[in-house]
Amino acid sequence: MIPFLSLKDITAKYASEIHEAVLRVVDSGWYLLGKEIGSFETNYANYIGTKYCIGVANGLDALTLIFRAYKELGVLKDGDEVIVPANTYIASILAITENNLVPVLVEPRFETLEIDDELIESKITVRTKAIMIVHLYGRCAYTEKIGELCKKYNLKLVEDNAQAHGCRFAEKRTGSIGDAAGHSFYPGKNLGALGDAGAVTTNDEVLVQTIRSLANYGSSKKYVFEYCGRNSRLDEIQAAVLNVKLKYLEEDNKLRQKVAAYYYDNIKNPNIKFPLRLPDTSNVYHLFPVFCKRRDDLQKYLTEQTVQTIIHYPIPPHKQNCYKEWNEISLPITDKIAREELSLPISPVMSDDDVYRIVSVLNDVI
């Protein structure tokens, strides 16, 4: 079987450094809020190009804490609307609804898979206070038009950068473009921990203080509680692992780009379509989505040929039971993506032979 993603191989590539880093923490006797998280926050902020980075427990917490902090700061209040792409992973939407804010689902462009910036302005109302862009599949979702709309309507721009560590818009990295960004280091992401981990990046010092307090039970002074906060920490072992893997992120993203280039240049099957090809600066290929009208048959065939694939995502948020009130909304592009998308294996540890074989299997199928 060619696996969709071998986490085992990804870890094995840096095994000796990772083992050393983990053991260093184990032997130190210090497991939370120590040196490793301090250095990871500095390293990651430098990498992304923001003044601050706050390590938190996971990507959903990162996004949820950003909105919660804006509420505590009076920037947002219950019932305010947040524009968000309709085809995103559920976590982006949960971060909004958990805060009693209202997601306004906007269709993506089928060609780019990212939020259609031409559709945003007509969705802006007096209650709209923020836009959340999601750099889905590793592709940059930011456009100058989105920046202009944020200025024109005085909206906060929040980035969900869970899938695009290292991606750029011009000189800036995604995660440094908006007012704040949430990152996930779930093991399968481009920069993955060996468990759950996440971070917020921003240049806003007041936001940082508020998020740090909210993530620490609502306290910035021992035993004094300003907010009804929560506990959301990125632990020392995960931070130590991330400090190792961050050094190789650029190199690993280049290897993903190499696989992607081979797919783009060599898959010639007319029944298989690609999203618009972006320059490598704007796509770090967290996933490699293709489209096929007979997607389920294609997936079945690939499985028979021992190629594992995954659909991102088979049921969009508006069709989920947890958001029953949206089940009847018409979002045809989002539905089409859910019907036709199939993600091919892509990772920094795929062998050339596996890539060649996937291409030849795809070119043979009718």
Ligand X SMILES: *Cc1c(COP(=O)(O)O)cnc(C)c1O
Q: How far apart are CA 338 and CA 319, in angstroms?
A: 10
Figure out which of the listed residues 86, 91, 167, 272 binds ligand X, where binding follows CB under 6 A: 91
Minimum distance from CB of 260 to ligand X (Å)?
A: 18
The answer to whether 291 contacts ligand X (rule: CB under 6 A) is: no
Figure out which of the listed residues 44, 52, 89, 142 binds ligand X, where binding follows CB under 6 A: 89
Kindly provide the b/e burial profile for residues 87-98, where b requires at least 16 CB atoms within 10 angstroms of the residue's own CB.
bbbbbbbbbbbe
**3-state secondary structure string across 250-278:** HHHHHHHHHHHHHHHHHCCCCCCECCCCC
Q: For the chain, give me the number of helices (H) and strands (E)? A: 12, 11
Neighbours of 251 (CB within 10 A): 9
Count of residues of this chain found to bind ligand X when the rule CB under 6 A is applied: 15
| DSSP assigned state of 279 | P
CB-CB contact of 362 with 318 (8 Å)? no
Binding mask 167-186 for ligand X (x = CB under 6 A): -----------------x-x
Figure out which of the listed residues 5, 48, 60, 150 binds ligand X, where binding follows CB under 6 A: 60
Q: Output 58 or 309, the one with its CB closest to ligand X.
A: 58
The answer to whether 84 contacts ligand X (rule: CB under 6 A) is: no
The answer to whether 345 contacts ligand X (rule: CB under 6 A) is: no
The answer to whether 198 contacts ligand X (rule: CB under 6 A) is: yes
Figure out which of the listed residues 55, 59, 138, 345 binds ligand X, where binding follows CB under 6 A: 59
Q: Output 309 or 362, the one with its CB closest to ligand X.
A: 309
The answer to whether 108 contacts ligand X (rule: CB under 6 A) is: no
Q: Output 129 or 135, the one with its CB closest to ligand X.
A: 135
**How many CA atoms lie within 13 Å of 68's alpha carbon, on the beta-carbon side?**
25
Which residues lie across from 133 on neighbouring strands? 159
The residues, ordered by sequence, that sit 6+ positions from 341 with a Cβ below 8 Å of its Cβ are 289, 290, 291, 295, 311, 312, 313
Minimum distance from CB of 88 to ligand X (Å)?
A: 6
Residues in contact with ligand X by the rule CB under 6 A: 58-60, 88-89, 91-92, 134, 160, 162-163, 184, 186, 196, 198
